[in-house]
Structures are given as C-alpha cells and as structure tokens.
C-alpha cells in the first residue's frame, strides 16, 4: 500500500487537482473572506480621495496572469468609478495593452462615465525606465496620443493632469518585477508618487519589505487580494467565486504533502529496520 502511494502515477494527482477545481466551480460554494491589512490600506486610501482626483492603473501583466489580476483590476476600477474618481490606464507590458483596453471599457460601461472626461486609456510604450521617468516630467511627452490614437490634449480630463504631481495614486497590477524594479525606484523614489500594488501570488512575498517602509501604500495578494477587495466594495466577483475552488485545492495539496511525507518516512523506517536485521 505504502509502496503504491510512493510510486503513484502523477496523472492520478492531476485528476484529483482537476476534480478539486471542477466540483466546487459547479457547486458554486462561497466561503467568507477575511480582509488582510495591506488590502484594507489600499481600499482606505482610495476611499479617502475626493471626487475628481486622479488614479492611475498600470496593467503590467499578460494573459498568463489575468486569472489573478483581472478580478483585482475590475474591483479597483469599480471602486474608483463609484467614487467618481478620474482614472488613467496604461501599461509597461506589451501584452497588457489589449487586456487593459478591453477591461477598462467593460467596467466603464457599467457606470455613467464618459471616455476622456472620467477615464482615459493610454496603452503601452516600450522602454520601462525611460517611460516612467519621462512621465514624471510630462505625461504627454510619452503618450501624445491615447491607445486608439486620439491626441490626449483632446481629452478634457487631461487638461489639468501634466505629471505625477497631479496623480493621487498609482495602482500597479503586476505579474513581474514592475513594482520593485520600476514603479518604486523610478516614481516613488524619484517623485514621491504614492503607489499601491496588486500582484500575483508568485511575487507577493517579496514585496513585503516595501510595504513596511511605506514605499507601498498597500498590497493585494493574488486572487485572495481580489476577493478581499470585492468584499470591501461589497460586490462579489470572480475573485470571491474562485476562492471556493482555491480552498479545496489548497486542502488537497496540504493532504498530498502530509500523505507523501507519511509514506516517505514509513518506507525509510522499514528500510532502516531491514538493514539492522
């Protein structure tokens, strides 16, 4: 039995993982979400802004991470539009350009918003460092036109937005090193721009030092962060829905690790006993 467990074909594990995702998705179970302080901080900061203030959202991710970051982007955009804040979207990732464009239009249509007055989507420009530093001087020097080619001077909301001085908060939704490798060194350090981050589970642990120093206002951890933010704005979405399957797979992985270790140590003890006799 133990030997069988030790040499289990990995495709059985694959099947278990598949079922652990499919069954809770079909059953549509919902678990209560506990909101962590770093996510609460972002919500509180945005909640404290006055109508008309500007929030910049950077869609620094691609399709490989949209599962975690799209729900976050939707929740933050809903919060901003609900509070009648003005939103600027942009990205440092080429693959983020189309994702951000689609998403901003979708969420903006849920509210009574007008493009150019309530939101502008600038799109992508290559050259991370140069883009961020040049935007600190003059956004229009980098984005003379928005993503669809309209000169940004034609958008009324950009009339009083020249550079970071006119932006209350940057929310970087990141799947790579754009938070600690770009936004913090080039916009926080250079221009004291307030930055919040929503990141994938893979990189969340490495951003805690920046949270403690205040270089980050707050931090949303992966799909859980999206679910937390959805709870705060009282509008459940894909984050909350996904956390049910997430819970079951987590339990499965924990059980698999424990079973694997029990099997390993039992086999090892048997082998040691066999050597003694």
Partner 1 sequence: MSTDIGVWIAAFLTLCIFSFLYKDNPFYKFAEHLFVGVSVGYGIVLTIHQGIIPFAWQPLKNSITGEAPLWRFFVTLIPVGVGFLFFSRLMPRYSWLIRYPIAILIGMGAGFAIPRAMETSIFEQMNGTLRPFGVINSLSAGEIIGAVLMLIGVVCTLTYFFFSVEHKGIVGGISKLGIIFLMIGFGSAFGNTVMGRVSLLIQRVDFLLGDWLGIVG
Partner 2 sequence: MRRQVPLVLCFLFGITMTIQYYVPSRFSEDLKSEVLNWGLIIGPFALVLAIATLVRLHYTRIQRRSENWPYSIVVFVGLIVMAVVGTVQGFTSQGISGGPFEWIFNNIQVPMDATMFALLAFFIASAAYRAFRARTLEATLLLVAALLVMFGNAPIGDLIWQKISPVRPNLPSEVRQWILDNPNLSSRRAIIMGISLGAISQSLRIILGIERSYLGGGE
What are the residues whose beta carbons fall under 8 Å from the beta carbon of 276, sequence distance 6 or more?
Answer: none
Position 133 contacts partner 2 (CB under 8 A): yes
Q: Are 152 and 143 contacting, i.e. CB atoms less than 8 angstroms apart?
A: yes
Binding range to partner 1, per CB under 8 A, among 14-22, 32-40, 49-57, 262-270: 14-22
116 interface partner picked from partner 1, partner 2, none, CB below 5 to 8 A per type: none
* Least spacing, CB of residue 73 vs partner 2, in Å: 15
Is residue 259 within 8 Å of residue 16, measured between CB atoms? no
Tokens encoding 19: 């079922």
Q: What, of partner 1, partner 2, none, does residue 76 touch, CB below 5 to 8 Å by kind?
A: none
Residue 274 to residue 241: CA distance in whole angstroms: 51
Distance CA 199, CA 5 (A): 36
* Nearest residue to 92 via CA among 126, 55, 57: 126
Q: Is 120 in the site for partner 1 (CB under 8 A)?
A: no
Is 144 or 258 the residue whose CB approaches partner 1 more closely? 144
* DSSP β-ladder status, 219-221 and 195-199: parallel
Closer to partner 1 by CB, 85 or 92: give it. Answer: 92
Q: Whole-angstrom Cα distance, residue 79 to residue 113?
A: 13
118 binds, among partner 1, partner 2, none (CB under 5 to 8 A by kind): none
The option from partner 1, partner 2, none interacting with 251 (CB < 5 to 8 A, set by class) reads partner 2
Q: Which residue's structure tokens are 């040691």? A: 272
Binding to partner 2 in span 15-54, by CB under 8 A: 16-18, 21, 31-34, 36-37
Q: Is 36 in the site for partner 1 (CB under 8 A)?
A: no
Angstrom distance (rounded) from CA 94 to CA 244: 32
Gap between the Cα atoms of 48 and 39, Å rounded: 14
215 binds, among partner 2, partner 1, none (CB under 5 to 8 A by kind): partner 1
Residue 242, contacted partner among partner 1, partner 2, none, CB below 5-8 A by kind: partner 1
Of residues 49-88, those binding partner 1 (CB under 8 A): 64-68
Q: Which is nearer to partner 1, 32 or 214 (CB)?
A: 214
Of residues 160 through 189, those in contact with partner 1 by CB under 8 A are: 180, 184-186, 188-189
Asked whether position 214 contacts partner 2 by CB under 8 A, the answer is no
Residues in Cβ contact with 189 at an 8 Å cutoff, skipping those fewer than 6 apart: 215
Measure the CA–CA gap between 159 and 183, rounded to whole angstroms.
Answer: 24
- Which span sits near partner 2 by CB under 8 A: 46-54, 75-83, 132-140, 269-277? 132-140
């Amino acid at each position: 039995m133990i030997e069988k467990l030790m040499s289990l074909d990995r495709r059985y594990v694959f099947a278990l993982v598949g079922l652990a995702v499919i069954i809770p998705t079909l059953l549509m179970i919902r678990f209560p979400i506990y909101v962590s302080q770093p996510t609460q901080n972002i919500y509180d900061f945005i909640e404290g802004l006055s109508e008309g203030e500007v929030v910049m959202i950077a869609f620094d991710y691609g399709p490989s991470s949209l599962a975690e970051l799209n729900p976050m982007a939707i929740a933050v955009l809903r919060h901003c539009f609900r509070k009648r804040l003005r939103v600027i979207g942009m990205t440092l990732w080429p693959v983020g350009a189309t994702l951000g464009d689609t998403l901003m239009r979708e969420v903006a249509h849920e509210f009574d918003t007008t493009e150019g007055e309530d939101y502008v989507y600038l799109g992508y420009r290559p050259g991370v460092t140069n883009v961020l530093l040049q935007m600190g001087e003059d956004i229009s020097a980098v984005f003379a036109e928005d993503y669809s080619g309209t000169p940004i001077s034609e958008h009324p909301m950009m009339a009083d937005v020249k550079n970071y001085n006119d932006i209350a908060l940057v929310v970087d939704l990141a799947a790579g090193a754009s938070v600690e490798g770009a936004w913090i060194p080039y916009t926080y350090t250079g221009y004291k721009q307030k930055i919040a981050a929503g990141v994938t589970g893979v990189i969340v642990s490495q951003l805690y030092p920046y949270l403690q120093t205040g270089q980050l206002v707050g931090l949303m951890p992966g799909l859980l962060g999206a679910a937390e933010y959805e709870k705060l704005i009282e509008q459940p979405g894909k984050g909350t829905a996904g956390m049910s399957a997430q819970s079951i797979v987590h339990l499965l992985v924990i059980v698999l690790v424990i079973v694997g270790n029990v099997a390993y140590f039992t086999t090892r003890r048997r082998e040691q006993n066999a050597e003694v006799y």
